């Protein structure tokens, strides 16, 4: 790879020049099945005709105006998202990190309105919220923070899926104003919290007057089998952040809020030059229309169950597989040892996967994959795991 690019990515030895559906083609014309979808971004797959058509039409009409003026497409998108989520209003930006920055600023304004001079946001160990300095400080993983000190103050971590720890921190710290967490930890290893955990956090936030802020950047937009993962728990947060699949590859993020959270930002308190421009909003509207028309939340739930069931069957006797977990098409296979080599092994078999936390195979395929493609992912991933753990392939059923 070229040294004119900064060395902040460890890139694999492949480059793609076109895509269609769940497939990408490299510069030599070789096809690859994409079980990562740009880390949950291309939920509709690559070059989806609805998104392509929307982009072409909008690009020929109007791509950008400042937020100093009204943007009707932005209002249409905000209306659709608030109806789907049960939230009240929206701020648009360009990424998940920016959306989480907005949430953190909302929490701080909320705290100052309660006369708390140094407001604290509780975050989760193992959580991931972005790589800007504030979201990095909110991220509960030391490996992302090392070397970037001093971090932004005002965050206290507690163990994920541990209500008692959250309750105890609330007893010890009177400056807590909000809790920021993912409904399923993605970068942290596809960690699904215990039954009732999110409802418990909601209850604690209500009892103590804290904002409940959910980072649905990876879990949102039908990925887990509902429009938003919090809907599995039957709760509404005060603040919800989105990005990734919202634009199917067109950069856009959103911070949704309701109740007190919806009242914090006022003219001049926050902004984004490119956020919510007509081009990005038109793409996001096409994504929502397609997901709704094709019932992709239901499809993700069905395919996720199918893939989890097959993985558990095929890998049931493979020593070294600690746990197979997930919800919808957000699937993690945890091994008892580091396994980043599996990425290259799968790449050799023309399958794109990811390993996170060093020992968790992370699968985030497009929501539009066929049953056959889902089976192919299970077969190849099971094969490379078996070879890696046993030194020999014992067969995939």
Structure tokens at 220: 């949102």
Active-site residue identified among 34, 91, 92, 128: 128
Q: Cα separation of 349 and 362, whole Å?
A: 17
In three-state secondary structure terms, 131 is coil
Q: Which residues pair with 140 in a beta bridge?
A: 125
Other beta carbons within 10 angstroms of residue 262's beta carbon come to 18
**Sheet with 360-363, side-by-side order of all strands:** 321-327, 330-335, 360-363, 354-356
Q: Tell me how far CA of residue 367 lies from CA of 99, 116, 352, 393, in angstroms.
A: 23, 44, 15, 29
Active-site residue identified among 34, 91, 155, 215: 215
How big is the chain by its Cα radius of gyration, in Å? 21
244 is an active site residue: yes
Say whether the peptide bond before residue 150 is cis (omega within 30 degrees of 0).
Answer: yes
DSSP state of 112: H
Active-site residue identified among 92, 228, 244, 311: 244
Q: Cα separation of 251 and 242, whole Å?
A: 11
375 is an active site residue: no
Q: Tell me how far CA of residue 395 lies from CA of 236, 270, 291, 374, in angstroms.
A: 45, 56, 36, 18
Do 374 and 307 contact (CB within 8 A), yes or no?
yes
Cα-based torsion angle of the residue sequence 189, 194, 195, 200 in order, rounded to the nearest 10 degrees: -110
274 is an active site residue: no
Q: Cα separation of 191 and 126, whole Å?
A: 9
As annotated, the active-site residues are 128, 215, 244
């Amino acid at each position: 790879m070229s040294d004119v690019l900064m060395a902040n990515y460890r890139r694999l030895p492949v480059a793609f020049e076109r895509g269609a559906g769940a497939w990408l083609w490299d510069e030599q014309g070789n096809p690859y099945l994409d079980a990562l979808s740009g880390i949950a971004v291309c939920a509709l797959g690559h070059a989806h005709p609805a998104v392509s058509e929307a982009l072409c039409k909008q690009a020929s009409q109007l791509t950008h105006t400042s937020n100093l003026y009204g943007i009707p497409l932005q209002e249409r998108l905000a209306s659709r998202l608030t109806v789907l989520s049960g939230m009240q209003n929206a701020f648009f930006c360009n990424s998940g990190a920016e959306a989480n920055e907005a949430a953190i600023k909302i929490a701080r304004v909320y705290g100052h309105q309660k006369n708390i001079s140094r407001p604290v946001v509780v975050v989760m160990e193992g959580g991931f919220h972005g790589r800007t300095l504030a979201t990095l400080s909110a991220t509960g993983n030391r490996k992302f923070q090392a070397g970037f000190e001093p971090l932004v103050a005002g965050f206290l971590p507690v163990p994920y899926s541990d209500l008692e720890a959250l309750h105890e921190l609330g007893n010890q710290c009177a400056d807590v104003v909000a809790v920021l967490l993912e409904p399923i930890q993605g970068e942290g290893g596809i960690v699904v919290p215990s039954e009732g955990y999110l409802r418990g956090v909601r209850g604690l936030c209500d009892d103590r007057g804290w904002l409940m802020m959910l980072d649905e950047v990876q879990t949102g937009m039908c990925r887990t089998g509902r429009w938003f993962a919090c809907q599995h728990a039957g709760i509404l947060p005060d603040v919800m952040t989105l990005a990734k699949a919202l634009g199917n590859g067109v950069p856009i993020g959103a911070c949704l809020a309701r109740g007190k959270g919806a009242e914090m930002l006022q003219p001049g308190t926050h902004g984004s030059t490119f956020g919510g421009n007509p081009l990005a909003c038109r793409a996001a509207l096409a994504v929502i229309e397609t997901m709704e028309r094709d019932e992709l939340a239901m499809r993700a739930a069905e395919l996720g169950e199918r893939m989890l069931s097959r993985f558990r069957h095929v890998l049931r006797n493979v020593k070294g597989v600690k746990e197979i977990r997930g919800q919808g098409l957000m699937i993690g296979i945890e091994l008892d040892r580091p396994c980043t080599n599996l990425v290259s092994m799968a790449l050799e078999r023309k399958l794109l996967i990811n390993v996170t936390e060093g020992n968790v195979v992370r699968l985030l395929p497009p929501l539009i994959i066929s049953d056959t493609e889902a089976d192919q992912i299970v077969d190849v991933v099971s094969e490379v795991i078996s070879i890696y753990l046993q030194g020999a392939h014992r067969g995939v059923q």
